[in-house]
Structure 1
């Protein structure tokens, strides 16, 4: 890690520059999505990628069982952290497949209600969004907040609430306010957690990637 990455004022300036340049960067990255998806798909050429996804999947299951806290209608869990690490490290294609597989595996291990493929699709879409926004990009709080907002508002609140209302036979507006408030509150909290995790991960990720290239 170089001196610039260790310099806190430099990091603050970098974050501010990222906020200013974010709209222009977003347009460029949107146009570059085909390349991003292609690079992510090539991550599967490395056995190391599959092994790391397996280990992170196991960690996600453990966190789901041991690190979930209920607060009335809210359930706080950190089982999503390994998922986001996969998205960040390996991109949208790997993240999408990993998210879909893990949704099925978790249902098999601990079934809750009737299996619904739509929830699996939600996990796939979340992997695509986080992977597309974070893969091979600098760790930026603004970027993380953007990805969290897309997933929580459009997928969790939008798709998730519609599916829950349909399954429970309730009106959409009966569930929407509580779920909207919960997800809006969790955007900054989860973003801070993910920012800290990915910042720490950057210290070891180049080494992991190097090992995977040597083993490929």
Structure 2
């Protein structure tokens, strides 16, 4: 438990530096741009590359900043481009995703195994179960009716998300060495 406390404490210290604050703001701006290119497959299923920016923030700045940015991004994205009614459950999901990326990636070596594990955890816990639950509450459809389609499509995207995340995060690490 002490390690998680130190992890969150170190993450909160990241925002004391003005350079880091600017980078976080730029990454959140990039998140908004990426989310403009979301593909709506069905009313309850969307495809986006927003996970890349969330994982990048988690890797660079940790779970506290990742959670803060995940929540703020959800709220600001809704203000900029509303898709359906606002529902705070998705804000909670955004916060949890940022925290999970931060716990898994902050100050750690980025490997394909680590990217796969965190992608599977977030896909199963957040994308499949929690977000499906939010959609059931929001739209009133049965959990059993919505879940199978979401399970199939989210599982198909696990290797794709893993490969994209691994490539982008390692590219950023290489670029960061020269800055």
Q: TM-score, normalised by structure 1?
A: 0.77
Equivalent position SS for 2:174 = coil
Matched, 1:167 2:138: yes
Equivalent position SS for 2:107 = coil
Structure 2 counterpart of 1:61: 32
Q: 1:129 aligns with which of 56, 81, 100?
A: 100
Matched, 1:115 2:86: yes
Matched, 1:38 2:9: yes
Residues 50-99 of structure 1, C-alpha deviation per residue, up to 9 Å, x if partnerless? 1111111111111222x333556753221321121111100000000011
Residues 105-135 of structure 1, C-alpha deviation per residue, up to 9 Å, x if partnerless? 0000011222111110100000111100100
Q: Distance in 2 between matches of 1:186 and 1:158?
A: 16
Q: Distance in 2 between matches of 1:64 and 1:154?
A: 21
Equivalent position SS for 1:203 = helix
Equivalent position SS for 2:141 = coil
Deviation at 1:173, TM superposition (A): 0.4
Runs (4 or more) in structure 1 with deviation over 6 Å come to none
Q: Distance in 2 between matches of 1:138 and 1:56?
A: 21
Equivalent position SS for 1:115 = coil
Alignment of 1:62-101 (within 5 A): 62-65=33-36, 67-71=37-41, 74-101=45-72
Name the larger-Rg structure: 1
Q: 1:144 aligns with which of 115, 130, 134?
A: 115
Equivalent position SS for 1:165 = helix
Q: Distance in 2 between matches of 1:45 and 1:145?
A: 31
Equivalent position SS for 2:46 = strand
Q: Distance in 2 between matches of 1:104 and 1:70?
A: 19
Mark the CA change 1:70 to 1:105 in structure 2 (over 3 Å): closer, same or farther: closer
Structure 2 counterpart of 1:182: 153
Contact 1:89 1:205 in 2 (8 A): no
Q: Distance in 1 between matches of 2:73 and 2:178?
A: 26
Root mean square deviation, CA, Å = 1.7
Q: Distance in 2 between matches of 1:155 and 1:75?
A: 14
Q: Distance in 2 between matches of 1:69 and 1:163?
A: 19
Paired positions, count: 178
Residues 135-181 of structure 1, C-alpha deviation per residue, up to 9 Å, x if partnerless? 00011111111111111101111111011112111110000001011
